[in-house]
Amino acid sequence: MTALGILGGTFNPPHLGHLVMAQEALVQLGLERVLLIPVHAPPHKDVRVEDDPGPRARLELCRLAVDGDERLAVSDLETSRPGPSFTVDTLRELHAREPEHDLTFIVGGDVARGLPTWREPDAVLGLARLGVAERAEVRREQLSARLRGLDGADRIAFFDMPRMDISSSGIRARVAAGLPIRYLVPDAVAGAIAAAGYYRAATGSRAG
């Protein structure tokens, strides 16, 4: 049975914080591989058209981000499925495709705190272990208390995540302002963003 980590998100764009999270989960939770799955459309937030180059573009940026690291891979499972991307649907499809995988769904502590509001949260915990990046602002005691009423709440595993103040929204803002994003995203991602003109619509500035 393969221990497979799943890291979902908008990845708009993917940055070094995403890759560090994937790596730390892989090492600390005993995973063999981590699969990045960019969403087609996030179900819990609206994305402005000018801020999103589209699911296919984000998928390609993810592929560029993990290129050369055999521990990481990218799936188009959600970008090829129209409509909002719900975690429970993705986990069910992964189980149906490759039932031999032992799945761990990787999230930050802030995201895990909202698990009770997700679609079928008990089913999510039945389909996958929840790998939670522990940070100072969301401690495991607080999170465990919030999730205690869910079936499968004992299937939560914590791992340490170095504090990295990098966000996709911050990167988009830097591109729009004409500021460099090197060292915040992989070089191949920075090059693709500059070449395609992503995130420049607000000002017409050029990213470095």
The CATH number that applies at residue 87 is 3.40.50.620
114-123 mean pLDDT: 92
Collapsed DSSP state (helix, strand, coil) of residue 120: coil
Using CA atoms, how far apart are residues 196 and 13, in angstroms rounded to an integer?
Answer: 13
Using CA atoms, how far apart are residues 29 and 50, in angstroms rounded to an integer?
Answer: 37
Q: What's the pTM value of the predicted model, to 2 decimals? A: 0.90
In a domain, 35, yes or no: yes
Q: Identify whether the C-beta of residue 163 lies closer than 8 Å to the C-beta of residue 135.
A: yes
DSSP-assigned states of every residue in 14-53: --HHHHHHHHHHHHHTT-SEEEEEE-SS-TTS---GGG--
169-180 confidence digits (pLDDT tens): 999 999 999 999
Q: For residue 150, what are the domain limits?
A: 2-196
In a domain, 134, yes or no: yes
174, exposed or middle or buried, with CB in 10 Å at 0-12, 13-18, 19+? middle
Q: Identify whether the C-beta of residue 59 lies closer than 8 Å to the C-beta of residue 74.
A: yes
Band (144; pLDDT cuts 50, 70, 90) = confident
In a domain, 159, yes or no: yes
In a domain, 206, yes or no: no
54-71 mean pLDDT: 97
Band (206; pLDDT cuts 50, 70, 90) = very low
How big is the CA angle at 17 (ends 39 and 28), to the nearest 5 degrees? 95
In a domain, 204, yes or no: no
192, exposed or middle or buried, with CB in 10 Å at 0-12, 13-18, 19+? buried
Most confident option among 81-85, 109-113, 157-161: 157-161
In a domain, 208, yes or no: no
pLDDT of residue 109: 85
Using CA atoms, how far apart are residues 57 and 161, in angstroms rounded to an integer?
Answer: 28
86-114 mean pLDDT: 92
Mean pLDDT score across all residues of the chain: 90
Question: How many domains is the chain built from?
Answer: 1
In a domain, 72, yes or no: yes
